[in-house]
Amino acid sequence: MCKSLCSTPKDPDSVDVGWGLEISILNGCSRLMPVICGPHLQKHRCNWWTGTLHWVGYGAVYLLEGFQEEVILAWLCIEGPEYPLVLYPTVMNSLPATSRMQKISVLLFLAWVGFLFYAGIALFTSGFLLTRLELTNHSSCQEPPGPGSLPWGSQGKPGACWMASRFSRLVLVLIDALRFDFAQPQRSHGPGEPPVSLPFLGKLDYLQRILEIQPHHARLYQSKADPPTTTMQRLKALTTGSLPTFIDAGSNFASYAIVEDNLIKQLASAGRRVVFMGDDTWKDLFPGVFSQAFFFPSFNVRDLHTVDNGILEHLYPTMDSSEWDMLIAHFLGVDHCGHKHGPHHPEMAKKLSQMDQVIQGLVDRLENDTLLVVIGDHGMTMTGDHGGDSELEISAALFLYSPTALFPSALPQEPEIVPQINLVPTLALLLGLPIPFGNIGEVMVELFSVVEDPQPHSSALAQASALHLNAQQVSRFLHTYSAAAQDLQIKELHRLQNLFSKASADYQRLLQSPQGAEAALQTVITELQQFLRGVRAMCIESWARFSLVRMAGGAALMAAACFLCLLVSQWVTSPGFYFCPLLLTPMAYGLAGAIVCAGLLTATGLKPDPVVLGAMAAVGSLLPFLWKAWAGWGSKRPPAALLPIPGPVLLFLLIRFAAFFSDSFVVAEARATPFLLGSFILLLVAQLHWEGKLLPPKLLTIPRFCLSASTGLPRHNGTHALGLGVGLLLCIRLAGLFHRCPEETPACHSSPWLSPLASMVGGRAKNLWYGACVGALVALLVAVRLWLRRYSNLKSPEPSVLFVRWGLPLMVLGTAAYWALASGADEAPPRLRALVAGASVVLPRAVAGLAASGLMLLLWRPVTVLVKATTGAPRTRTVLTPFSGPPTSRADLDYVVPQIYRHMQEEFRGRLERTKSQGPLTVAAYQLGSVYSAAMVTALTLLAFPLLLLHAERISLVFLLLFLQSFLLLHLLAAGISITTPGPFTVPWQAVSAWALMATQTFYSTGHQPVFPAIHWHAAFVGFPEGHGSSTWLPALLVGANTFASHLLFAVGCPLLLLWPFLCESQGHRKKWQPLGNETESRVKPEEEEEPLMEMRLRDAPHHFNAALLQLGLKYLFVLGIQILACALAASILRRHLMVWKVFAPKFIFEAVGFIVSSVGLFLGIALVMRVDGAVSSWFRQLVLAQQR
């Protein structure tokens, strides 16, 4: 099995081991034994030339037949003049190519798992979040929608716009959630049967009386709303005539204000006075547009009367005055009654009766030039909810009334069904206004008929004129939109444009000779209606439909990715696990899946969708893992193997998973998360006590030699761990003082400390807060420097260490100076304002530049150790053992190998130089055992300062608490993690779950909420007070960095969960032991204290090190993936819930973006650890080359 790597000369000078490796051996040794390591060592033994080759867990490269991952640490002389054991260091090539391939495989595998989640999120989003581009173009009277003269009926009319106005004033009564059947009378199912008695039927009987008495003055329509059936989206539709979706990508990046062309802005532009009263949602949608407004809070669905009574207080006095041209009254009582009681409750009958009286009072006060519109924005389900696309939710009532005759025909037998957006172009032309630019609704042609038609063709020509104007406006919108976006079907778009061109040509021809062309006019009207309805159908297909198939596919893909993380996190620590096949097979299957999907789409004539192709590639790449899991599980594996997560952690994850299905828990997550984290910390302390890890360790006993010895003080005792827990709970409580209340909890008051110092009035209080903020900066800097000095990583002459010593203070100084200028900019003297403005631009950019420079230096030279060299060191070392003869058991090897490693430190750390006058150099590397964590802490500090600059000044106190809280949690978690040498190394699920939960807690403690109004938009202007011009990616990056700073910091710092237990080894102390008397005596005594190995234990077993990093990353992605999966399922199952667009959809978006940021940060954190490991390997290699020279 073994290659012939060595021989056994009696007095060799050197032994050639091949592959460029050479072992320097002194004369006098008659028998050598290699000390090697590797992932397969426990499975294989190799017959040596005179004995058995034992496999141990430390070292460099040893070539085994069929394997290339075994490692030689050194050679032991087990027979010779310096017997019992003499160490001969091995000249080696540090880390081989196979180890580098392991690192690359780990990073690529984590990237691939992230891609699986991304594909699932994208696929789910494409079916759930309805998106479209929002245009800001506006229609005007000066720019007709198309070529040609003014339509019939507008020539010669003074003040005519696109069409002469028919009404001067408009009263719009919006009864929220007025379902269509609420306006229906009580009817019987058949003749002779009693009428159906429901609380909501027949309560609007005044509408029925008007329809019966004045059929030419009034009409009742069944209005069909487009999903999502939520108030804000429906208000957008009722004013713009378009199909608003949950996400409208537009130029207004900071609020819900409508930037599209709409009726309200057209009225204001024409000088019309718009008076509003009711739901305060309009205040956000149309800021500063109303000439007079009476807003009332709308969120408290338990309150049925406040809003309605407030409207009634102002409605009739305003009607009686003449200071309005459009009056809008938005009643909420019916909607709130549905949410509170449901539509079948007697309270609904009372509310509808009240609305009936309101309509009667308005009709009595109407003048002849005024149009009354009563409409429901949406309906409601049998339980009173809305938001989805069920028939009851999209069906709303629409009632029109005019004191003058408006309809030439009699009342139809059944109310006509019209799309809700058809009201927009109809009202615009009736009021003599341009149709809003983005409207895709169709005018209600019945309202443009001539009641007393002197000529047979007059009504038809008026209807055709209105439809043609409408079609011209829609055609113009399609042309503009298709040039800016690519989400409309090209073939259907061309077909509709051809249809419009034909209808428009026919209409222009009829205008030349309208006499006797009634049949031709009806044909033109039909063609124009087909065009408009085809456009609406095409847009609905693209914008306003849930795709349940995509939603289910995306959720299934995310669930499969979570399952994969769970599987591989188990496999990675099993014997015989290989890194290389991790990607080759999945990539082949994924590529095949994408090719097959693309071929099927092309063959069927469909356009290949990148989202679908990516999802199919992800599904294909999952198949080999799922097949392996299916084949591996059977009767041989217990069911518990499917869930290797400990019971308490599994319960915690289930609670988190279930909480996302409750809107109350999502709204209250800012309060629930600290409670869960505190409970988890208490559980960790209790678990440490139950497992006995807070007690002094038992004496180490080796029965073979009857040896017992204390290993020193424990790393943690009960008092210490309890203190850590109390400190953590205190930090969590203090961080909770910085909270922002969601708008759904009006009784809650947000912390005043979230506001910037510039908003404070008192000068003394501002100065005190400024001092506290600067003190937090200084404390953070001092803490980091003291920590690095504690582990001697601040004494290295490396560039990254020099930057920490001098660059970080400059960053603190720049941040403090910027805060001083920002908080007092308004108080600066006029002659200094230009200087202050310039400094406000330069300072943040300088801090960000310094942070970027420090990170680049850290990546370039990440090894932060102090190296010293002395001359005259001997080349051999005696290994002291409490046993006689060669090591024959695992316990013997565990005793010998640490001593070998410590002796190797003296020989290999540092740059070896030889001179003619001096002997070989002995290199001492100080605190090499903290080289990984030192780089991680330095990187996190460099990231924290620019992120802190994007927040308000007082958030610096939260960042200080964040670092302190993380430090305490790492120490507490390290107490429960046992260090196994030579491996495998494992981070328990408790640590990963607590770390992820702390990231969520920090998100809320920095003043964030998973809703768009709570986003800190001011971050986009830090360093750019004048804006960004046409750039959108930079402000989005700044706002994203502000919002997801906690996700980024905790993800980058995730490898500390693996490193910290080894770092805490320095809290104890270890002893050297030497035998007393002859070799056979078992008594030993302490010789001297030695430096602990700490993180170098990880480097001693590179295979286990890489496996531990992969397992840690997969566990963290699993915990985050469970959260995003829960959000997706909640949004999907509750898509018809009242709060789906208010709570569940924003939560899903924030979790999705947070997952992406966290996965990228995790990848960067693990890559940094591997970069440090590679730099350490290069450092060792340089030492070896220097020694060889």
Stated as kind and residue range, the H or E segment containing 685 is helix 669-690
Q: Where are the alpha helices (DSSP H) in 227-332?
A: 231-240, 263-269, 281-285, 306-320
| Strand 169-175 versus strand 326-331 pairing type | parallel
Q: In whole angstroms, give the CA distance from residue 433 to residue 270.
A: 8
Using alpha carbons, select from 627, 560, 629, 621 the residue that is nearest to residue 112: 621
What is the Rg, in whole angstroms, of the alpha carbon atoms belonging to the chain?
Answer: 38
| Number of residues that this document lists for the chain | 1189
Q: What is the pLDDT of residues 1159-1189, one digit of tens each?
A: 999 999 999 999 998 888 777 766 655 555 5
Report the alpha-carbon distance of residue 716 to residue 634 in Å, rounded. 42
Going by their DSSP bridges, the two strands 218-224 and 395-401 should be labelled as: antiparallel
Strand partners, 1011: none
Amino acid sitting at position 415: P
**Tokens representing residue 25 in the block:** 């051996």
Using an 8 Å Cβ cutoff, are 824 and 833 in contact? Answer: no
What 3-state class would DSSP assign to 323? coil
3-state secondary structure 761-812: CCHHHHHHHHHHHHHHHHHHHHHHHHHHHHCCCCCCCCHHHHHHHHHHHHHH
DSSP-derived pairing of the beta strands 86-91 and 67-79: antiparallel
Residue 1018: DSSP 8-state: G
**Cβ-based neighbours of 922, under 8 Å, separated by 6 or more:** 869, 870, 871, 872, 873, 906, 907
Mean pLDDT of the chain: 76
- Asked whether 432 and 388 are in contact (CB, 8 A), the reply is no
- Could you identify the residue written with the tokens 């003297």? 829
Q: Position of tokens 């009711």?
A: 278
Classify residue 641 by burial, with Cβ atoms within 10 Å: 0-12, 13-18, 19+: exposed
SS3 call for 980: coil
Compute the distance between CA of residue 500 and CA of residue 533 in angstroms, rounded to an integer.
12
| Among 757, 912, 756, 935, CA closest to 857 | 935
Task: Please state the separation of Cα 1148 from the chain's center in Å.
Answer: 8
Q: Which of 1026, 1052, 842, 854 lies closest to 949, judged by CA?
A: 842
**86, β-bridge pairs:** 77, 878
CB count within 10 Å of CB 749 equals 9
C-alpha to C-alpha distance for 769 and 771, rounded to whole angstroms: 5
Q: Residue 1022: which of 945, 960, 942 has the closest Cα?
A: 945
Pairing outcome for strands 417-419 and 370-375: unpaired
Low-confidence stretches of the chain (pLDDT < 50) are: 1-30, 36-73, 81-96, 152-153, 155-156, 249-255, 635, 639, 696-716, 870-877, 908-923, 1068-1089
Dist CA 863 CA 866 (whole Å)? 9
pLDDT computed for residue 1087 by the predictor: 40
pTM summary value = 0.70
Measured from the Cβ of residue 517, the count of other Cβ atoms closer than 10 Å reads 20
The span from the CA of 1183 to the CA of 575, in Å, is 33
One-letter amino acid of 902: R
Handedness of CA 733, 739, 745, 748 (dihedral sign): positive
Cβ neighbours for 259, distance < 8 A, ≥ 6 positions apart = 134, 136, 250, 251, 252
Q: From the CB of residue 229, how many other CB atoms can be counted at a distance below 10 Å?
A: 30
Nearest residue to 965 (alpha-carbon basis) of 1028, 1049, 903, 902: 1049
Predicted pLDDT of residue 48: 30
Which segments of 947-1094 are extended strands (E)? 1070-1075, 1084-1090
Write the CB contacts of 713 (distance below 8 Å, at least 6 apart in sequence).
696, 1068, 1069
Give, in order, the Cα–Cα distances in Å from 934 to each of 400, 785, 931, 937, 1059: 73, 11, 5, 5, 10
Return phi, psi of residue 32, to 5°.
Answer: -115, 150
C-alpha distances out from residue 766 to 477, 799, 1045, 1085, Å: 52, 38, 26, 63
Q: How far apart are alpha carbons 362 and 172 in whole angstroms?
A: 10
The beta strands (E) that lie in 92-238 are given as: 131-133, 169-175, 218-224
What's the pLDDT score for residue 28? 45
pLDDT at 792: 65
Structure tokens at 727: 């400190």
**What backbone phi and psi angles, to 5 degrees, belong to 396?**
-130, 160
Q: In the chain, how long is the greatest CA-to-CA distance?
A: 131
Cβ atoms of 359 and 334 within 8 Å: the answer is no
Distances (CA, A) of 421 to 242, 388, 538: 7, 17, 15
H-helix or E-strand spanning residue 375: strand 370-375
10 Å CB burial of residue 717 (0-12, 13-18, 19+) is: middle
| Helix, strand, coil content of the chain in percent (nearest 5) | 55, 10, 35
DSSP letter (8 states) at residue 1144: I
DSSP 122-139: HHHHHHHS-EEE------
β-partners of residue 1074 are: 1085
From edge to edge, which strands make up the β-sheet containing 417-419?
A: 292-296, 274-279, 326-331, 169-175, 370-375, 395-401, 218-224, 417-419
Q: What is the phi/psi pair of residue 438, to 5°?
A: -90, 10
- CA atoms of 906 and 404, how far apart (whole Å): 104
- 790 contacts 937 by C-beta, under 8 angstroms: no
Residues 6+ apart with CB under 8 A from 603: none
Say what the pLDDT of residue 93 is. Answer: 38
Amino acid at 56: V
- Give the residue from 571, 538, 235 showing the smallest Cα distance to 375: 235
C-alpha span between 8 and 21 (Å, rounded):
17
